[in-house]
C-alpha cells in the first residue's frame, strides 16, 4: 500500500468508539424531511407571431400602451423576461403566475393581441423533478373540431 492508500484506512480506524466497536451511522428521521409543497407559481412561455398583413407601423400605434403594460407587469413581478424577434413583429415573454387562467388573462390583455396584430401560443414550463420541460396548451379556439 502506498501512503495515500493508508490514510483512508487510518480515518476509518479513528471512527471506532472507545470500546473498539465501529460507530453506527446516523439515520435520517423522516419527520424532519419537509413534505413536498405545491408550487406557488407557474411559469409560462408566451410566443407572439404577427397575423397576416400586420406591419411594424401598425405595432407602433399601440407601442405606448404595450410599453406601459410591460412595465406594470415587471413591477408586479409577473414578467420575468421579454423580447422581440428582430425579423418580425412577434416576440416572447416569460411570465410567472399563480394559475393558468391568470396567464391567459395577461396574454389577452396585451394591446397587440387585443388589436388583432399578433396571435399567441402559451407554453407551460413544468419542473416536476428539477428538470424544466415544456407542455403546450392549445387555446380552445385553436382546437380542431371533433367528429
Residues in the chain: 147
Who has greater pLDDT, 19 or 11?
19
**Ramachandran angles phi, psi of 7, nearest 5°:** -60, -50
At residue 45 the predicted structure's pLDDT band, cuts being 50, 70 and 90, is very high
Query: Distance between CA 75 and CA 72 in Å, rounded?
Result: 5
Quick: pLDDT tens for 91-133.
Answer: 899 999 999 999 999 999 999 899 898 999 999 887 655 555 5
Q: Is the pTM of this model over 0.75?
A: no
Residue with cell 387585443: 114
Q: What are the boundaries of each domain within the chain?
A: 42-137
Confidence of residue 14 (pLDDT cuts 50, 70, 90): low
pLDDT at 85: 80
pLDDT band at 58 (very low <50, low <70, confident <90, very high): confident
Q: Which CATH architecture has domain 42-137?
A: 2-Layer Sandwich (3.30)
How wide is the angle at C-alpha 135 spanned by C-alphas 111 and 105, nearest 5°?
25
Q: What's the average model confidence in pLDDT over 51-74?
A: 90
State mean pLDDT over 17-22. Answer: 63
- pLDDT tens-digit profile of 1-13? 555 555 555 555 5
Q: State the pLDDT at residue 77.
A: 92
Asked if residues 78 and 106 have their Cβ atoms less than 8 Å apart, the reply is yes
pLDDT confidence of residue 108: 93
Amino acid at each position: 500500500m502506498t501512503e495515500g492508500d493508508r490514510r483512508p484506512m487510518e480515518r476509518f480506524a479513528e471512527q471506532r468508539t472507545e470500546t473498539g466497536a465501529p460507530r453506527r451511522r446516523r439515520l435520517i428521521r423522516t419527520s424532519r424531511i419537509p413534505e413536498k409543497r405545491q408550487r406557488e407559481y407557474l411559469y409560462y412561455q408566451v410566443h407572439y407571431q404577427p397575423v397576416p398583413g400586420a406591419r411594424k407601423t401598425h405595432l407602433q400605434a399601440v407601442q405606448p400602451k404595450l410599453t406601459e403594460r410591460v412595465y406594470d407587469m415587471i413591477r408586479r413581478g409577473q414578467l420575468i423576461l421579454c423580447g422581440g424577434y428582430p425579423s418580425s413583429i412577434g416576440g416572447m415573454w416569460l411570465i410567472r403566475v399563480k394559475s393558468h387562467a391568470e396567464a391567459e388573462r395577461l396574454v389577452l390583455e396585451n394591446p397587440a393581441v387585443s388589436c388583432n396584430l399578433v396571435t399567441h401560443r402559451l407554453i407551460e414550463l413544468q419542473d416536476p423533478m428539477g428538470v424544466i420541460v415544456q407542455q403546450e396548451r392549445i387555446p380552445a379556439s385553436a382546437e380542431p373540431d371533433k367528429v
